[in-house]
Structure 1
Amino acid sequence: MVKMNGVRKTTPRKTKLRTPVMAVTVSLFIAMLIAIVVNAEGFYHVLNELVMKNLMWGTGWVSSIASLFMVILCIYIMCSKMGDIKLGGPNATPKFTYMQWFGISLCTGIGAGVVFWGAAEPLLFTMEPSPSTGIAPGSNAAVLWSMVRCFMHWGFTPYAGCVIFGVILSYVILNMGGTFKTSSCLVPLFGKKVATSKWATAFDAISAFSLTGAVAGGLGYGAMQLSTAVNAFAGIKPSPIIYAGIIFVMFLCYNASAISGLKRGITFLSNRNVQAFFLLLLFVFLAGPTAYICNLFTESMGSYVTEFFANSLNTAPYPNSGMWPQNWDMYWWVDWFAYTPLLGLFMVRVAYGRTLREFIVIEWLLPALFGIVWFAVFGGTILHAQLFNGFDFYSIYKAQGAEALTLAMFDVLPVGIIAKVIMLVIITVSLVTQCDSMTVTLASMSMHGADENTEAPIYLKLFWGIVFAVIAVVFVILGGIDGVKTIKSFCGIPLTFICLFITIGFLRYMGKRPRTISGDYEYEDEIKDAPDSREPVEKKDHGILGKLGW
């Protein structure tokens, strides 16, 4: 560490790689990719029919319980004395404004997903409700049911696991002096010696494998939607070459951002993208059926709140269910658990100087509310056009897939071409920031002795960036959207159990922590509390937007 202008920064040293973490991840995916290339149909049949269906039916219910538990825990931390704990110690100074932090959280989390599914899920669920509900497709009941399901998939439940893991890792790394790797979460359970054990290496390898599959899958979603845009604007139909070309361009963008660093790369892009998000959301709300959207949102929120626990634990163990909860609800839960360790680790880099209560609000509460509002606006717009104005978006879905629906929806709005351009910018930047953040995090975790301020060498960032891109190309070309979903959920199932176990262990550890007479937690003796060790948040006062952090 050296001190420059009063700020202590991590100096680059000779990089010692954590070869097992990298080798295990790459080897598993090479084996998987070879199997897909040799016989894609057979591979996905085995994975879907023999593995995933049995796993989701036999263990998917655990993901429902775990996800609900994480939501309850987020609320508890936000409302209890635990929320007063300051990450980095009582004298720690934040290095990001609230708005910068929120922008990073939104764009590295649900950003690209809400754009892809914002119009698709409400329409699809309305026209194809779960068979076990007995709801007629396209009916009033189907509309309400579909919106509640969307709020479940993109509201408070999915992100809770990532945020709780972010809380655990932030506390261990910033307040207990843990190293910057996902296996630091094992320290409260097994002590500091576990950090250098083979168990820690194994956990980091599992985390890297799961995260790689999840990010590559998200990159695949984006490539499919962008290829539809290329078709709409240039008349070039989606093809393997188009998919590969789009992913290659994305690779160049997110690696350039990763190389530029957290402050100049992710922070700048995320905050510009948040402005585009709100601009597009406001446009669709005002240009679309505004009154219908407000009414639909109000009634849907009522059902979402009153039926939250029942919907959270829905498993539909009936002969006519078609495994709908396993294919949708539980798929999303395990998909998010695949992101949990590495996304939680990335959160450490932006949480310094904030309390756990602030952490929960910025990383969980606000993104969840944004997701709910987004689906109400986009879902209300496409459903109104489908059910009231005679536009047959369902036929578009059947012919072109979910990736075509959002672009098609803009055709019913005035100056829809402008909205399409904004949407494409949002998709691109969201994917860039998500892949960028995970590239940086994986690269740092692949080094011995890295901390939350360490910038990994460029070649390590390029390595993980290439891995993401290659896997995404194979997924999309040989598996399509169903193949992407299968791989992502397969990666998340084991982490569901691991994350639940670690969370319970962390709560047990915190229950034994010393407290003051007033009930406040006492800070750890080994706390990393050095006021000059982080860059303070930039002071801005350029009007209202400046005060908000823009």
Structure 2
Amino acid sequence: MKMKQLWSQINKRTFLAPAIFFIIVLIIAFGFPTQFADAMNTALNWSLSSLGWVWLLSASFFLLVLLWLAFGKAGNIRFGGKDAVPDLPTWKWFCIVLTSGMAAGCCYYGVTEPLSFFLSPPAFSGAEAGSAVAAEQSLRYVFLHWCLHPYAIYTIPSIAVGFMYWNGKRRFSLGAGLYPFFGAKADGRISDWTNALALAGIMGGCTTVIGLSSDQLVVGLKYVTGWEISADVLAVIICLIFVVPAILAAVSGLHKGIALISTTNMYIYIFICATALLLGGNAKFVIDNTVSSIGQYFQFAVGQSLYLEPAQQTGWVSGWTIFYFAWWLVACPLVGLFQVKMAKGRTLREFILVNMLAPCIFAVAWFGFIGSSAIKMVLDGNTELVDVFQTLGSSGSLFAWMKQLPFSGVICIAGFLAVLFSVITCFESQIMTATDLCLNQNEVDTSDISGNKKASVVMKIFWGVIVCGMGFALRYSKGGLNSVKTSSVIIAIPTTVLVIALAFAAIKIFRNPEKYDKTLEAEEDCKKK
């Protein structure tokens, strides 16, 4: 394909701004790592202190809107019209939803977060570090960060966009969801600009995942195997292992690569959860602590999800809850667009249940079983787990826990594969979505997000290399993993405005869905004929 022909297939307004932005950031991050980290930290401190209340209120608002839609009369509306048929079986759909979203984060924080809140509970909790009270309270904070609120953030952008794409027959873009406010103008520059903003969110979404997960694999491999190899060299190798399979899977298509990887990974998760329950030290404690924490979560979720430490100001809420909610807000536009491609044939209720509620069940089992097992080990006097956690940090905690278990070699291999497949699935889904956004609509295969034209293949390679490079650059900068985390919060500022607008658009659409549903017109035409 000639370069001129390839260039003609690209949507310049969507592609150029984020592409140039990423290239500039890459140059600065590698050329001036100290200054880059300092600038990121300055922006982070301002964001957390000034906008935390916006992110907490927004997350609760999104959750309420989705519950209203799922369990109201709008829940029976089907994406694509009443006769639309899903492209994927429900199990594969759920596996893709889970593994392309927060799965990599679950691997990174699965042991880290429960152990952190046990060994260093928030000051406002009144619990003593390492005490029985701290052990029982730890998971309620974890569930706040990984259950209803985050998945509500991930799901809300896809509601308005999905309906206007499948039922309203608008173009595949975030702007489609804004049609109730802007009419046909939403298909023009508004779509291009909002898509560009979503692409910029890759910096805080997928690149953050790559930065954290590459460090987790570097630390984990060196700890488990004892290899004497440069961490930076190993990180480069791991990033290449991320990018090559992700691009190949993205090129192969939604129903091939990503479905195979995600379902395989789901079985690995189940194996690790079963291991935590059966071999984790005390199955009764694991079950009792998990069930008790579910009750505590529902008891305090409303108050804690809006708590900002106005007087105590320990920094715990901004460093954990606000950071997480901002992280989800950065990633959710692209995640939401990816979810839209799998919405066909599903009712609104099914869509919300699978994208928001079903993953919460997994999160409860994952963090509950693994976290409770790790806490019980420490309560029983296991000092190695604590020592590794304190010396190697968050990146080493999962594999430090696995090394304490019987058959640790097999379990560690499963852990490495879970991290690897989680990143590849997340990476792959965002590459495919970013590619669709960057192509002119006549170059996009609307039946399958994978596309099949050479332009899409070139674009997937471009975004794969850029995103992987960004993840390594953030890890390489002076701030290391702190810069990785900081980037996600900064990009959340503009995306929050967009996602709030999409939430209000969903409310407007489903108060009068017939006004926007063109599948009803097609049904009427068929009846007349």
Normalized against structure 1, the TM-score is what? Answer: 0.89
- Residue 235 in structure 1 maps to residue 227 in structure 2: yes
Moved more, 274-283 or 128-137: 128-137
Indicate how the Cα distance of structure 1 residues 500 and 263 shifts in structure 2: closer, same or farther if over 3 A, else same: same
Query: Residues of 2 paired with 1:470 and 1:332: CA distance?
Result: 23
Indicate how the Cα distance of structure 1 residues 73 and 237 shifts in structure 2: closer, same or farther if over 3 A, else same: farther
Corresponding residue for 1:7? none
Task: For 1:77-476, list aligned pairs within 5 A.
Answer: 77-197=69-189, 199-231=190-222, 232-237=224-229, 239-288=231-280, 289-318=282-311, 320-449=312-441, 450=444, 451=446, 453=448, 455=451, 457-476=456-475
SS at match of 1:389: coil
Q: Give yes or no for contact 2:79–2:348 (8 Å, CA) kept in 1.
A: yes
Q: Give yes or no for contact 1:103–1:271 (8 Å, CA) kept in 2.
A: yes
Query: Residues of 1 paired with 2:522 and 2:259: CA distance?
Result: 24
SS at match of 2:298: helix
Indicate how the Cα distance of structure 1 residues 15 and 360 shifts in structure 2: closer, same or farther if over 3 A, else same: farther
Corresponding residue for 1:485? 485
Query: Residues of 2 paired with 1:107 and 1:247: CA distance?
Result: 18
Q: Give yes or no for contact 1:189–1:506 (8 Å, CA) kept in 2.
A: no
Structure 1 residue 15 displacement after superposition: 6.0
Query: Residues of 1 paired with 2:521 and 2:426: CA distance?
Result: 28
Structure 1 residue 528 displacement after superposition: 9.4
Q: Give yes or no for contact 1:214–1:491 (8 Å, CA) kept in 2.
A: no
Query: Residues of 2 paired with 1:40 and 1:134: CA distance?
Result: 40
Structure 1 residue 423 displacement after superposition: 1.2
Indicate how the Cα distance of structure 1 residues 428 and 529 shifts in structure 2: closer, same or farther if over 3 A, else same: farther
Residues 238-278 of structure 1 deviation map (CA, whole Å, 9 limit, x = unaligned): 51111111101211110111111111110111111111111
Q: Give yes or no for contact 1:410–1:419 (8 Å, CA) kept in 2.
A: yes
Q: Give yes or no for contact 2:80–2:519 (8 Å, CA) kept in 1.
A: no
Corresponding residue for 2:508? 508
Residue type of the alignment partner of 1:236: E
Indicate how the Cα distance of structure 1 residues 523 and 176 shifts in structure 2: closer, same or farther if over 3 A, else same: closer
Residues 472-524 of structure 1 deviation map (CA, whole Å, 9 limit, x = unaligned): 1111122322111101121123212321122113312332445xxxxxxx872
Query: Residues of 1 paired with 2:295 and 2:519: CA distance?
Result: 47
SS at match of 1:370: helix
Residue type of the alignment partner of 2:11: R
Moved more, 171-180 or 321-330: 321-330
Residue type of the alignment partner of 1:397: F
Identity of aligned residues (%): 23
- Root-mean-square deviation (CA, aligned residues, Å) is 2.0
Query: Residues of 2 paired with 1:263 and 1:480: CA distance?
Result: 36
Structure 1 residue 380 displacement after superposition: 0.5
Query: Residues of 2 paired with 1:429 and 1:112: CA distance?
Result: 8
Q: Tell me, which stretches of 5 or more residues in structure 2 are unaligned? A: 524-529
Query: Residues of 2 paired with 1:351 and 1:508: CA distance?
Result: 20
Query: Residues of 1 paired with 2:134 and 2:181: CA distance?
Result: 46
Query: Residues of 2 paired with 1:445 and 1:136: CA distance?
Result: 50
Indicate how the Cα distance of structure 1 residues 14 and 501 shifts in structure 2: closer, same or farther if over 3 A, else same: closer
Moved more, 132-141 or 399-408: 132-141
Corresponding residue for 2:526? none
Q: Give yes or no for contact 1:393–1:405 (8 Å, CA) kept in 2.
A: yes
Query: Residues of 2 paired with 1:165 and 1:477: CA distance?
Result: 32
Q: Give yes or no for contact 2:47–2:489 (8 Å, CA) kept in 1.
A: no
Structure 1 residue 389 displacement after superposition: 2.8
Query: Residues of 2 paired with 1:513 and 1:99: CA distance?
Result: 29
Moved more, 363-372 or 35-44: 35-44
Indicate how the Cα distance of structure 1 residues 14 and 176 shifts in structure 2: closer, same or farther if over 3 A, else same: farther
Corresponding residue for 2:49? 57
Structure 1 residue 31 displacement after superposition: 2.8
Q: Give yes or no for contact 1:189–1:502 (8 Å, CA) kept in 2.
A: no
Indicate how the Cα distance of structure 1 residues 75 and 120 shifts in structure 2: closer, same or farther if over 3 A, else same: same
Q: Give yes or no for contact 1:87–1:353 (8 Å, CA) kept in 2.
A: yes
Query: Residues of 2 paired with 1:496 and 1:99: CA distance?
Result: 31
Query: Residues of 1 paired with 2:9 and 2:512: CA distance?
Result: 36
Q: Give yes or no for contact 1:118–1:375 (8 Å, CA) kept in 2.
A: yes
Moved more, 28-37 or 90-99: 28-37
Q: Give yes or no for contact 1:107–1:433 (8 Å, CA) kept in 2.
A: yes
SS at match of 2:463: helix
Indicate how the Cα distance of structure 1 residues 408 and 158 shifts in structure 2: closer, same or farther if over 3 A, else same: same
SS at match of 1:463: helix
Query: Residues of 1 paired with 2:431 and 2:278: CA distance?
Result: 37
SS at match of 2:205: helix
Corresponding residue for 1:534? none
SS at match of 2:255: helix
Query: Residues of 2 paired with 1:528 and 1:248: CA distance?
Result: 49
Corresponding residue for 2:12? 19
Indicate how the Cα distance of structure 1 residues 448 and 409 shifts in structure 2: closer, same or farther if over 3 A, else same: same
Query: Residues of 1 paired with 2:231 and 2:359: CA distance?
Result: 34
SS at match of 2:342: helix
Query: Residues of 1 paired with 2:404 and 2:63: CA distance?
Result: 37
Q: Give yes or no for contact 1:33–1:471 (8 Å, CA) kept in 2.
A: yes
SS at match of 2:82: coil
Q: Give yes or no for contact 1:230–1:236 (8 Å, CA) kept in 2.
A: no
Q: Tell me, which stretches of 5 or more residues in structure 1 are unaligned? A: 1-11, 515-521, 531-550
Indicate how the Cα distance of structure 1 residues 493 and 141 shifts in structure 2: closer, same or farther if over 3 A, else same: farther
Structure 1 residue 14 displacement after superposition: 9.6
Aligned with residue 42 of structure 1, among 35, 51, 56: 35
Moved more, 391-400 or 431-440: 391-400
Residue type of the alignment partner of 2:135: V
Residue type of the alignment partner of 1:226: L
Query: Residues of 1 paired with 2:220 and 2:424: CA distance?
Result: 17
Query: Residues of 2 paired with 1:417 and 1:308: CA distance?
Result: 38
Aligned residues: 509
Query: Residues of 2 paired with 1:140 and 1:527: CA distance?
Result: 59
Q: Give yes or no for contact 2:258–2:425 (8 Å, CA) kept in 1.
A: yes
